[in-house]
Amino acid sequence: MKRFSFYLAALLLVALYSCNNSKTKTRYLPESTGGINSLMVVMDTELWQGAVGDKVREIFAAQVLGLPQPEPIFSITQIPPQVFKGAITHSRSVLFVEQDSLSLAHVKTDVYAKPQKVAVVKGETFNEFSDNLDKIAAQAVASFKRVEIKEAQKRFLRSLSKETAFVEELGITLKVPSLYKVGKQEKNFVWMDIQIPKGTMNLLAYAMPEDTFSADSTFVRDIIRMRDSIGEKYIPGPDVPGKKTFMITEKAFAPYVFPTEIGGKKAAEARGVWEISGYPMAGPFVTYIINDKENNRKLVLEGFTFAPSALKRDYMFELEAILRTVEFEKKS
């Protein structure tokens, strides 16, 4: 009987330990907060006002590529470490910069809230800070951007458009907010837009032949030629007597082009400024050229904004978030 009691007590202890351990693993995390593209920088104010702060701003307040006027990739709020407590710790994107004899740089996930990305940079001298910030820059910026894209998508998922134009013409689906309306639908071409203060935000999708781009050496030039031909065919400008006005790629500067992946397929991303041939209108665009081998085509998705005298970063970010929801209908 005593032996049984001993084993029973041992089993209870194991069960209690397992229960406590399980509770530790399933720790509750509150929902993260913050405006889209906001970054909470936690560092001593003296560091922030000096060369280390300049280095942080150089990386995390760098100019967004492809906008007509300078805008930072993140809107930064700096606070000293002693203020970082309570609800502030729920910020979605956080950068810790701390003076310490230990030199390190890494990115953590869901530390104080969920979803959340927390980048930590430590060092003792400016050179250590600078090296560690350079080391983590690309990873941290990409991590912050991914969590911000997901947050933007979560927000517009609350009310989605029921339009079926993208499926009908191109065999794709996009999660588009319900306020966007179809402005033009033709064979292999769809244009949706939404009215914003003093302008519009626009979504395009169209198909191009698989061999549209012949060589890497002419790729940027081919993108410009493609966009200009689509603009002339589908996107007219204002009526001007004696002139044909339509959208083209800005002539003064070539777009920035990067490799990317979207909808599970390899793609190219182009960012730049559009303008209207024969009329003083312009704005930013982002174009994704997707290598859709299964359908023997290049699928092109584009977002562009017209919003004179307004900041455009967040408008373009919403368009990117929408375009990155693309899914391809499976062939039966």
Summarize pLDDT for 60-72 with one digit per residue, the tens: 999 999 999 999 9
User: Quick one: pLDDT at residue 22?
Assistant: 45
User: Quick one: pLDDT at residue 216?
Assistant: 86
Average pLDDT value for residue range 280-300: 96
| Residues 6+ positions from 173 with CB-CB distance below 8 Å | 166, 167, 325, 326, 327, 329
Report yes or no: 121 and 105 within 8 Å, Cβ to Cβ.
Answer: yes
CA distances from 47 to 42, 54, 81, 125, 220 (A): 10, 9, 12, 11, 42
pLDDT at 5 over 50: no
Share of the chain above pLDDT 70, in %: 92
Q: Dihedral, CA atoms, 17, 23, 26, 32, nearest 10 degrees?
A: -150
CA separation for the pair 21, 313 (Å, rounded): 45
Which architecture, in CATH terms, is 165-328? 3-Layer(aba) Sandwich (3.40)
pLDDT in tens, 140-183: 999 999 999 999 999 998 899 999 999 999 999 999 999 999 99
Q: Range(s) for CATH 3.30.379 in the chain?
A: 38-156
Average pLDDT value for residue range 260-275: 96
Number of residues written out for the chain: 332
How confident is residue 25, by pLDDT bands cut at 50, 70 and 90? low
User: Quick one: pLDDT at residue 2?
Assistant: 41
**38-156 to CATH, choices 3.30.379, 3.40.720, 3.30.70, 2.130.10:** 3.30.379
User: Quick one: pLDDT at residue 19?
Assistant: 46
Tell me the pTM: 0.89
Q: Range(s) for CATH 3.40.1000.10 in the chain?
A: 165-328
